[in-house]
Amino acid sequence: MKRKLIAFSIISAVTLHADWSGTLGNLSDEAKSVWEKQKENLLNEHKDENLTARHKRLHQEHFNNIWEDVISNLEKGLAFSNKIDQAPNSAFFSADKESLRKEFETILDDIIMLLLDDNLLNYRKNIRESKENIASLEQDILTYREKKITAPTQSHLKTTKDQYVQKIADAKESIKEYKVKIEKTKFAMSENFKELGIHITPQQIDVLLARVDGDDIISMTLMMDVLKQITVQLLAIMQESGEELNHAKKYYGMHMVLLELVVYVQQKLINKIEHTYIPKIDKILSDTSEILAQTNKKISDEESLQRRTIYYQNYEAQKLTFKVATLYKQNLQDELIQVIKARDASQKNLDLSKNTFQTVTLSSDLYKIISTSQEMMREVMKLQVPTIIPFENMQMKEKFQELTKKIRQ
């Protein structure tokens, strides 16, 4: 499954896209060189541990641990799917399609929880924790510097100046260690993505980790990969069942539930983008636009050169916020288009699967159809992944992260 996460494809506002990526060519070669050196160093440090082999082992252990629970939930899901097909659209004294659908979606949520207990999400968590520890240590350094000013030169009861100097040095050393840990984690994350057929650079990982939908993207990637494994196992069981149609239909039905799961997850992301992410970025754009107008008026009205200079600096910072927020919105809109296309393709595959389930009379035909659907699944995966352009500079990256925090609030 060959897939590329190359983010931030801009569907409109060509000038803004030029602003975003104008200096990318100059940065790209240098960034690649740095990454190659980091990669070589990290590989040397991990000669005793093959990261790819380790991930494969952990991934297989995860799959083995969830297999029985997943099969159990797929059986429940198939039973509810059959009930939904036979249930009335509405009913006073019995279950109708809507009430059964809610129970069915609860089962799908249970399956999702099983599928997503994997390393890539843990990597994201580890990076986040390391960054929080760095921020805490940086705050400690500021405190130590303040206290060092009035600290005694010598004392048995109080912390001395030299001891504060040592505390600062220790904190700086810890920060270095956390930064190395972050780079190692990014490297391991990149290697794990490669195992899924995704080639992603550390710069692209930075973007992925900064996005409000980063967890959604990683989750869909992981889920589709595990679903592929489950389908392979279902095919193996069907092959062992021979020409027993009832058995074949049972496992084919489980495969249909997996297709339902794909559509369900894609629709959930569509709802998030449409009803949460984009409205929140619209609010940020609206608020920033008002502040820009107010600051611009202050610049015009202010007679003091010193105050006018500060207002102008504020104005430039507000312009950057508006620019990055606009790019952010364009990216979300682009992703929305991609995921809708993927959802539509998945829905067509699901409709075809249901029609086949009702039509086919030979188990071997069902086996062939699931085998063929694997290729269709790969095409869907290509559709649903957004494009990622690395950040132009550190200032833009920090502003992007700041906006992500606001969207999450």
Tell me the β-bridge partners of 198: 3
| In 87-213, alpha helices (H) | 97-115, 119-150, 161-195, 202-210
Backbone angles phi, psi at 388, to 5 degrees: -125, 120
Do residues 263 and 229 lie in contact, with contact meaning Cβ atoms separated by under 8 Å?
no
Torsion of CA 61, 66, 67, 73, to 10 degrees: -170
In this prediction, the residues of the chain whose per-residue pLDDT falls under 50 are: 1-28, 30-32, 34-35, 42-43, 45-49
| pLDDT for 24 | 33
Cα within 13 Å of Cα(308), Cβ side: 8
For 1-48+236-409, CATH gives 1.10.287
Do residues 230 and 365 lie in contact, with contact meaning Cβ atoms separated by under 8 Å?
no
3-class secondary structure, 140: helix
Measure the CA–CA gap between 222 and 114, rounded to whole angstroms.
Answer: 11
Q: Based on C-alpha coordinates, what's the Rg of the chain? A: 27
Domain boundaries, the chain: 1-48+236-409
Give the single-character DSSP code of 385. Answer: P
Provide the sign of the torsion angle of the four alpha carbons 364, 367, 372, 376, taken in this order: positive
Q: At what angle do helices 202-210 and 119-150 cross, to 10 degrees?
A: 80
Amino acid at 78: L
This prediction's pTM: 0.73
3-class secondary structure, 198: strand
List, in order, residues 6 or more apart from 256 with CB less than 8 Å away.
78, 81, 350, 353, 354, 357
| pLDDT for 17 | 37
